[in-house]
Amino acid sequence: MQKILVARPIFPDVIERLKQYFDVDWNNGDALPAGELARRLADKDGALTAGDPIGAAVLAAAPKLRVVANMAVGYNNFDMAAFNAANVLGTNTPDVLNETTADFGWALMMATARRITESEHFLRAGKWQKWAYDMMLGADVYGSTLGIVGMGRIGQAIARRARGFNMRVVYHNRSRVAPEIEAELNAEYRTKEALLREADHVVLVLPYTADNHHTIGAAEFALMKPTATLTNIARGGIVDDAALAEALRERRIAAAGLDVFEGEPSVNPALLTVPNVVLTPHIASASEATRRAMANLAADNLIAALGAGPRAGQPPSPINPAVMGKARS
């Protein structure tokens, strides 16, 4: 029987499903240190991960490994050059989390614009003593301009929600989306710089790559309106968190909502000292139905890629399908 490692805690019923096909080594505890991860992968044919870093050294220590299924859309934890060189397949879980993540991005943007977290802290601290015309004044969302950086599946889902708020939508993407999609979403393409100047609310939904590192930093905050908000539901590292904390402290932008951070689960301490930021622990896809769909899609990929189940040899969402059918190198 082929052997797999499930590197993180997931739903027990998904583990039982995998046991129908494989000898399963399940880490039902904290994330494995790199050395322990490599040791436990040494005799494995496949793995299911959730953000665990897999690079050349780990792959070299696991000569039988043929597929790693990531329980996430983003796969910046995979060194894809190393995967391709070793003919190891990587898979991810697109689509099943689009709407849930868009919902959360919208909620985070609204909470940021209307100072929800700051207001709750104010109330809990016993500071609310009277009504005041200028107490916790925030920014309107309805009728404002929404700037979306990254117009993929989730970015488009966010843009669709903007119609109900009568928002003007501008977007920036590596390449323009098809004219019919622009028309459907009533979205106008902008350069990144133009978008930052125009938008009242900027939402980041782009994948993390080396080229996207610190896409938003001090220079970009200088372009934004002092009344603007920034929401990041993409990946840590896309925003320079230190520069963001400074911009928030100096009120160069009004507020930010962050679900992802550089070096998470660590958070830049400066972000914890500014009041005008909403912080959540990478939970944009965290509805039970969606997380179950992600876990099952990761399992589907692993089962199929290792030649089992009804889709044997045809995993639903391969990242680097060109390596399929090639001998492990």
Extents of the domains making up the chain: 3-94+288-323, 98-279
235 counts as catalytic: yes
pTM for the structure as a whole: 0.93
Q: Give residue-wise pLDDT tens across range 140-198.
A: 999 999 999 999 999 999 999 999 999 999 999 999 999 999 999 999 999 999 999 99
* DSSP string for residues in 220-284: HHHHS-TT-EEEE-S-TTSB-HHHHHHHHHTTSSSEEEES--TTTTS--GGGGG-SSEEE--S-T
Fold match between domain 3-94+288-323 and domain 98-279: yes
**Cβ distance 222 to 252 under 8 Å?**
yes
The average confidence (pLDDT) of the chain is 97
Catalytically annotated residue among 114, 115, 235, 291:
235
> Catalytic: 282?
yes
| CATH number at 98-279 | 3.40.50.720
Averaged pLDDT for residues 226-230: 98
Catalytic-role residue among 264, 292, 311, 328: 264
**Residue 249 known to be catalytic:** no
DSSP 128: -
Choosing from 160, 197, 282, 328, the catalytic residue is 282
User: Does the bond joining 265 to the residue before it have cis omega, within 30 degrees of 0?
Assistant: yes
List CB contacts of 135: < 8 A, sequence separation 6 or more. none
The per-residue pLDDT for range 266-291, each reduced to its tens digit, is 999 999 999 999 999 999 999 999 99
Instruction: Give the distance from CA 13 to its chain's centroid.
Output: 25
Query: Dihedral through CA 17, CA 21, CA 25, CA 29, nearest 10?
Result: -10
Structure tokens at 58: 């780990």
CATH, domain range 3-94+288-323: 3.40.50.720
**pLDDT band, very low/low/confident/very high, at 329 (cuts 50, 70, 90):** confident
Q: Residue 38: which residues within 8 A CB-CB, separation 6 or more?
A: 57, 58, 61, 62
Provide the pLDDT confidence category of residue 90 given band limits of 50, 70 and 90: very high
